[in-house]
Amino acid sequence: MKANNTKLSLSALAGILLLSMLLAACGNNNGGNEGGAASSEPTASMAAEPTETEAPTERKLTDGLGHEVTIPAEPKRIIASYLEDYLAALEVTPVAQWSVKNGMQEYLQPYLADVPPIPFDLPYEAVLSFDPDLIITGTASTVEGDKYEQYSQIAPTFTLGDEVNGDWRQSLLKIGEVLGKSEKAQLVLDDYEKKAAEAKTALQEKAGGQSAAAIWLVSNTFYVVSDSLSSGAVLYKELGLTVPATVKEISEGSDGANWNQLSLEKLAQLDADHIFLINSDGDGAAALQDPIWQNIPAVKNGNIYEYGRDTSWLYAGPIANSQMIDDVLESIAK
């Protein structure tokens, strides 16, 4: 009996030693305490792995005007006047928002409700008062003269430049790069492209081959949107609606403006099946009582869809364009 007990004890001891070796090996391979005991000393491979996420660091980027700009690691107080659509899409809240005498970009107020206004021309004293740590501007004219040097003394200033600023997709991706949110910007763009493609299919099934025009009424004067810019790009390029001959003619003769004045003669010739009216004059506008307006085929047929100046039709960007798509679908493809 004694010999047998000795053999059992040796066998048990060997088993324990073997189990300990296996657990130690597993602990080294896992590099931590997951699923068993870990080695009390780090192995060479464990020591090489970072123990925490690397903190963001400042970066140097060249802007649209050729300036090398040092971007803060994590800007917290951003001014990007008239570019707030992109910031909101990227879930970034600026420290101040673009404004004019008549108000702000009303369609963005759900995102910017508590953000104070700053005048559209960005006076030096106003910019300074917000103590920004990053300023992003759109066109070269925004920083003409000595404005760029003035702003740069307040905070790093990055200007998109006219080419990038003129293309909302490029603007979105560039601002995403500046803010270290390139992946988020690409996701926003991909979601928009999918939405636009689906909307185009729905419209072609409901109103294939039909034409539309966006008309803006302000101060008793009509303007028509260009066929390739702003809401015109949404109507014709994104959604595939037909460009009316009158709109095409006016766009070809314009100087590249988003909106071009529409004479009464051209208004009478407006051959659109559908009209999206952005009415800044409000109810009872005298121009809408004019017989010329009343006799436009789209108006006579009831194919006119009215929106106020507080909607996104006068702007461009991922949020503005997405809201326009919703409006068109609700109006035509309902």
For 294-330, write each residue's pLDDT tens digit. 999 999 999 999 999 999 999 999 999 999 999 999 9
The pLDDT of residue 102: 85
Both 68 and 108 in a single domain?
yes
Q: Is residue 185 part of a domain?
A: no
Q: Tell whether the model's pLDDT for residue 221 goes beyond 70.
A: yes
The pLDDT of 121-135, averaged and rounded, is 98
Q: What is the pLDDT of residue 54?
A: 62
Q: Let me know if residue 90 belongs to a domain.
A: yes
Four-residue CA torsion sign, 19, 24, 30, 34: positive
3-state SS assignment for residue 240: coil
* Mean pLDDT on 133-159: 97
Q: How many domains does one find in the chain?
A: 3
**Amino acid code (one letter) for 230:** S
Percentage of the residues of the chain whose pLDDT score is greater than 90: 80
Condensed to tens digits (0 to 9), the pLDDT of residues 44-56 reads: 333 344 444 467 8
- Assess if residue 267 is contained within a domain: yes
Structural domain includes residue 128: yes
125, part of any domain: yes
**Residue 109 placed within a domain:** yes
In the predicted model, what is the mean pLDDT of residues 75-84?
98
145 and 209 within one domain: no
Instruction: Tell me, yes or no, whether 74 and 18 share the same domain.
Output: no
Q: Are residues 25 and 68 in the same domain?
A: no
- If asked whether residues 151 and 64 sit together in one domain, one would say yes
pLDDT-derived band at 5 (thresholds 50, 70, 90) equals very low
Rg, C-alpha atoms of the chain: 30
Which of 153, 180, 207 marks a domain boundary?
Answer: 180
**Residue 296, pLDDT score:** 95
Q: Check: CB of residue 62 under 8 Å from CB of residue 68.
A: yes
Q: Is the four-CA dihedral 94, 317, 302, 334 of positive or negative sign?
A: negative
- pLDDT tops 70 at residue 24: no
Q: Which domain holds residue 26?
A: 2-48
Residues 313 and 248 grouped into a single domain? yes
